[in-house]
Amino acid sequence: MNAFRKWRYGNWFIPVVSGLLILVSFGVEKLFGGSWNVTVGPQWWIDAGEHAHGSGHVFTLANAFMLAAAIVAGYGIVVKAVRALLVKFISIDLLVSIAAIGATLIGNFWEAAAVTFLFAIGHALEAGTMNKTRAALAELVAVAPDVAVVMRDGEQVEIAAHQVRMGEIVLVKNGAKVPVDGQVVSGTGAIDEASITGESIPVEKTKSDHVFAGTISRGGFLQVMATGIGADTTLARIIHRVEEAQDAKAKTQAFIDRFSKWYTPAVMVLALAAGLISGDVVLGLTLLVIGCPGALVISIPVAIVAGIGRSARNGILIKGGEYLETSAKISAVAVDKTGTLTEGRPVLTDIVVLNPEADRREVIRWAAAAEAGSEHPLARPILDTAREEGVAPEGLPGSVTPVVGKGIVADAHGKRVLIGNVPLLEQYGIVNDAGAAVAANKLAAAGKTPMIVAVDESVLGVIGVADTIREDAPEMIRRLHAGGVQKVVMLTGDTRLVAEAIGEAVGIDEIHASLLPEDKLDAVARLQREGHTVAMVGDGVNDAPALATADIGVAMGAAGSAVAVETADIALMGDNLLKLPEAISLAKRTVNVMRQNIWIALITVVVLLVGVFAGGVTMAIGMLVHEGSVLIVILNAMRLLRNTQGATALSRSERARAAHETGRPVEPATAQSSSELPS
């Protein structure tokens, strides 16, 4: 019963009933020599003279079934047309309604039934295929967890996912979906984050790591403290963002919408004029059907829905159709060095002692004393090394003064400590650098960031810190070039020697070093003045001005940042650099499909119009071809749902195989007793 009710209100009920009535009409008319085709009434329609056909001069049983087929299929069309008119919008349904009603009034019941039946079939197919183009969003919604297991009063309790409270401990067992965003407080496990980041391989999670709602445990057991619940999870933000993006109109779509507002009334005027001049009512009605801009209207939205949905499944969030179109034009990509081309986790590599009265522990001790309490990325490796060498600072320095572009000046243990570059020494009147400039240049030429350490008037030594180049950085740049990007530019606040060493290793085209945040903005603006459409990739606050200035701002590793998901034009959820060329490639494919669809729609209309005036194209054939063009447009857009070669996301079976081949655990849960769990 439920299945019948579902079918009754489904897309195919009306076309099926209408089609059956058409078959019955043909059966009554053709079978048994037409003996069943009895007369049920006199002629009530307008005599169209030579243009009327098939109805005779009496209303037969076959005519009644054909008329019923037209009414069944056409009722909904007329209702939609009237509703659109009430809001002063001339829709495609109005053209079809006028054509069908006109055909009925002149007794062409077969044409009326054929047009409405085919239009109804087209709608059903369109709805079905459009649902598939939105499958990516549906899959995102489907990964949203329904239940959660939490610890309450020392007991494991299964509750609805939306009932989890902030700060509550959630248990994530093998095979279960993570119900909240949170931080691991105990346990280890492998988490499949493909639904969020598009990454193929499960990620090992241990204490202090972050996990996201909608990801799936592939092994192990985790206790997670909820930090994001309900609508305040990364998955919820992604779904919301994709919904908005798929409905956001591209510039081309806005043009097509304006075009359709003039095109549809123009078709009605053309049909009226053709009918009055030729005296052929059928010609006028046929023109109404032929001129339907259905394929044109749907050509762009369906491509945008498919393109944005596909990218979202691969962990690439694109803000909307307008940004998709702009991304397809990107000719220059500006990237930050630290955290984008490099891991963003520098390590201390060299300690060059320049003062004969000091040793390496002395150099690192004073450097650590000055950097104590600093949150700067370069301070961490110094403090870590000092701790390992047993000279970790006790307490904080008296005062710390950052000198923009040069380093810092700190007051530690009653002495002035400088950490920075040669200009910093010069600013504070240290004339004898003890060879620090030469040592710093050697380190910089090797791609390391040098930091000169001076206490009072004496230079103690130079510390070298290096960041690891990401493995996928050279491949990203190669793919950007292969995808049509003319120039990849590095914008960094680091010294030129360091920047050149990194740039040469990864294949950067142009390097701008020693930049302040406002300098990065100027560099992006200069690229734009040169005629480039610029994408700026960054992950730090100091990149914000350049990100805002660029035609497309790209945020890396946005999975844990609500601000990045909401504000970036393109948000790459994972840290995989190859998602950037993939995003640009997908944007270009989507725009190509949009253009193809527009040409398909326009050529179809022109060919049909020529066919009508040349003869041979009837109202039914016109509607059939018209609906066919709509389907071709949709199917063309659905090609975007497939991953191309080089895509960063794999299918479920491929992910499972990859997990197996890499030895990642897909094993039974390692359950813990309640006594081992936090109360």
CATH number at 411 reads 3.40.1110.10
pTM, two decimals, is 0.71
Q: Are 369 and 397 in contact (CB under 8 A)?
A: yes
| Confidence at residue 49, expressed as pLDDT on a 0 to 100 scale | 64
Task: Determine the length of the chain.
Answer: 679
Q: Is 116 within the bounds of a domain?
A: yes
Q: Are residues 212 and 250 in the same domain?
A: no
Collapsing DSSP to helix, strand or coil, 53 comes out as coil
Q: Is 674 within the bounds of a domain?
A: no
Q: What is the CATH number of the domain that holds 531?
A: 3.40.50.1000
Q: Which residues are CB-contacts of 58 (< 8 A; sequence separation ≥ 6)?
A: 39, 41, 42, 43
| Confidence at residue 199, expressed as pLDDT on a 0 to 100 scale | 63
Strand partners, 451: 463
Q: Which domain holds residue 134?
A: 11-141
Q: Are 456 and 426 in contact (CB under 8 A)?
A: no
Q: Quote the CA–CA distance of 278 and 284 in Å, as a whole number.
A: 9
Average pLDDT, consecutive stretches of 10 residues, N- to C-terminus, the chain (679 residues):
75 91 91 84 77 70 93 92 86 85 86 87 76 66 80 85 88 86 88 72 82 85 88 81 70 74 84 86 83 79 85 84 90 86 83 89 90 75 88 79 80 88 88 88 84 91 87 92 92 82 89 80 91 84 74 77 70 84 92 92 88 82 83 88 67 49 38 36
Q: Is 4 within the bounds of a domain?
A: no
Alpha helices (runs of H) in 403-462, residue ranges in sequence order: 422-427, 436-445
Number of domains in the chain: 5
Query: In terms of Cα–Cα distance, which of 298, 314, 311, 306 is closest to 134?
Result: 306
Q: Quote the CA–CA distance of 254 and 573 in Å, as a whole number.
A: 29
Query: In terms of Cα–Cα distance, which of 659, 678, 679 is closest to 190?
Result: 659
Collapsing DSSP to helix, strand or coil, 678 comes out as coil
Q: Quote the CA–CA distance of 605 and 608 in Å, as a whole number.
A: 5
Q: Are residues 23 and 132 in the same domain?
A: yes
Q: Are residues 412 and 363 in the same domain?
A: yes
Domain stops at, among 448, 468, 488 = 468
336 labelled catalytic: yes
What does the CA dihedral 639, 645, 650, 656 come to, rounded to 10 degrees? 130
| Confidence at residue 18, expressed as pLDDT on a 0 to 100 scale | 93
Q: Are residues 247 and 181 in the same domain?
A: no
Q: What is the CATH number of the domain that holds 202?
A: 2.70.150.10
Q: Are residues 170 and 27 in the same domain?
A: no
Q: Is 672 within the bounds of a domain?
A: no
Collapsing DSSP to helix, strand or coil, 219 comes out as strand
Strand partners, 387: none
Q: Are residues 221 and 123 in the same domain?
A: no
The residue to which tokens 């996928």 are assigned: 472
Both tokens assigned to 622: 């016109």
Domain stops at, among 446, 468, 490 = 468
Query: How many Å is the maximal CA-CA distance in the chain?
Result: 121
Q: Is 670 within the bounds of a domain?
A: no
Q: Are residues 327 and 448 in the same domain?
A: no
Q: Is 204 within the bounds of a domain?
A: yes
Q: Are 211 and 235 in contact (CB under 8 A)?
A: no
Q: Which of 93, 181, 336, 539 is catalytic?
A: 336
CB burial of 483-522 (b: ≥16 within 10 Å; e: otherwise) equals bebebbbbbbbbbebbbbbbbeebebbebbbebeeebbbb
Q: Are residues 59 and 131 in the same domain?
A: yes
Q: Is 279 within the bounds of a domain?
A: yes
Q: Is 227 within the bounds of a domain?
A: yes
Both tokens assigned to 231: 């609508």
At 148, give phi and psi (nearest 5°).
-140, 150
Query: What is the DSSP code (8-state) at residue 338?
Result: I
Q: CB burial class (10 A; 0-12, 13-18, 19+) of residue 475?
A: middle
Q: Are residues 296 and 328 in the same domain?
A: no
Domain stops at, among 232, 252, 270 = 232
Q: Are residues 18 and 122 in the same domain?
A: yes
Collapsing DSSP to helix, strand or coil, 231 comes out as coil
| Confidence at residue 198, expressed as pLDDT on a 0 to 100 scale | 61
| Confidence at residue 668, expressed as pLDDT on a 0 to 100 scale | 34
Q: Quote the CA–CA distance of 435 and 446 in Å, as a whole number.
A: 17
Query: CA distances (Å), 388 to each of 344, 393, 627, in order?
Result: 21, 12, 73
| Confidence at residue 563, expressed as pLDDT on a 0 to 100 scale | 63
Q: Are residues 209 and 115 in the same domain?
A: no
| Confidence at residue 677, expressed as pLDDT on a 0 to 100 scale | 37
Q: Are residues 488 and 462 in the same domain?
A: no
Strand partners, 571: 317, 555
